[in-house]
Amino acid sequence: MLRALARVNLAAIERNCARLASAAAPAALCAVVKADGYGHGAVPAARAAQAGGATWLAVATANEAADLRAAGVEGPLLVVGALTVEELDIALHARADVACWREASADAIARRAGALGVDAGVHVKLDTGMGRLGTRDAAEASRTAAAAAAAPRLRLAGVFTHFATADEDDKGFLREQLARFTAWAYEVRVEHPDVLVHAANSAATLAEPGARLDMVRCGIGIYGLDPFQRDPAEQGLEPALELRSYLAEVKRCAAGESAGYGRRFVAERDTWLGTIPVGYGDGYRRGLTNNAEVVVDGRRVPVVGAVSMDNITVDLGPGEHAPAAPGEPVALIGDGLLAEELAGRLGTINYEVTCGISRRVPREHHRDGAPA
């Protein structure tokens, strides 16, 4: 038994991708596997996504693209993030398409592609309201697209944007962004009919059919996490990740005795405490101090006392005899306890919960319980 283990069901990722690909059709599905597959493992997640119908993959950094190629993952690949000159070389060596939104950047990509002797696909980004990467100036985006199409060794492969509010109930701003983007994108398509037009994330894919266009870029949804921060089952999605540990210690705690740093928990009655060897060093956040539950033998019990780097304590309940024994398995995510619940308790989103599971927690990949 390991002190902590993140179990990832690749069959669930495959089924989630099939669900999203079906919802998006006839648009293509691009599976986003950045940040080590949102904490699930980028390489196995990418392969499972492709098996489920994803025809493109996307990452945020050049090294993420290089890691996929080094592992033998093939197929169209897009780096959506900003790149330095050094990172651009890595991305081009990995045969990845890259994002661009300035004419000068298109020229720089062409120079590096020529120097390396490779061809490069460019996706021009129009900022329609996210306010991060991309140009807000449609005329500048058009000039960049023209420069990419004309440059030797470059190919204008796509045009794209990113929605700021697709996961919110009010779709007004999403539709404003979509209208702004499509008005420009379809002008570009007049001159470049083969260009791939894409905008939708998981939330927009599920909630706004008009946003699906030629391709959707789904991240959170492929892992069975709800883009709307509720219950994945509402969207027909299946959580792929479980975080598991065990009771390393069970001991009596008399009324008035405490647990953890700062005595953040003082027992009001005689009870039994269990210690689980997981803490914020593993990504189980300190904000869950006295603010979470875990599942022991099918029963939810509260986390009590401060979350420390390597351990948490739980109140197993009163009784003459210990209600659980050392070695008992524990689910911190799983057995009905969703990442969305932990996110709600922390005032954050499910993305941060799974991305935050640290590297010292091994990932075990399986397919519905069978070794992957």
Q: Which amino acid is at 339?
A: A
CB 294 within 8 A of CB 337: yes
Whether domain 10-230 has CATH 3.20.20.10: the reply is yes
**What confidence score (pLDDT) does residue 1 get?**
82
**What confidence score (pLDDT) does residue 62 get?**
98
Q: Which residues contact 146 (CB under 8 A, 6 or more apart)?
A: 191
**What confidence score (pLDDT) does residue 286 get?**
98
**Helix ranges restricted to H, 79-215:** 85-93, 103-116, 138-150, 172-191, 202-207
Give the closest residue to 335 by CA, choosing from 241, 264, 223.
Answer: 241
- Angle at which helix 42-51 crosses helix 10-24, to 10 degrees, equals 50
Which homologous superfamily does the CATH classification assign to the domain defined by 241-337?
Lyase, Ornithine Decarboxylase; Chain A, domain 1 (2.40.37.10)
Give 244's strand partners.
5, 331
Q: Which amino acid is at 148?
A: A
Q: Domain residue spans in the chain?
A: 10-230, 241-337
CB-count burial class (<10 Å; 0-12, 13-18, 19+) for 136: middle
**What confidence score (pLDDT) does residue 322 get?**
94
Catalytic residues: 34, 261
**What confidence score (pLDDT) does residue 350 get?**
98
What is the chain's pLDDT, residue by residue, as a tens digit (372 residues)? 899 999 999 999 999 999 999 999 999 999 999 999 999 999 999 999 999 999 999 999 999 999 999 999 999 999 999 999 999 999 999 999 999 999 999 999 999 999 999 999 999 999 999 999 999 999 999 999 999 999 999 999 999 999 999 999 999 999 999 999 999 999 999 999 999 999 999 999 999 999 999 999 999 999 999 999 999 999 999 999 999 999 999 999 999 999 999 999 999 999 999 999 999 999 999 999 999 999 999 999 999 999 999 999 999 999 999 999 999 999 999 999 999 999 999 999 999 999 999 999 999 999 999 999
**What confidence score (pLDDT) does residue 147 get?**
97
Give the closest residue to 278 by CA, choosing from 299, 303, 315.
Answer: 303
Question: DSSP label at 2?
Answer: -
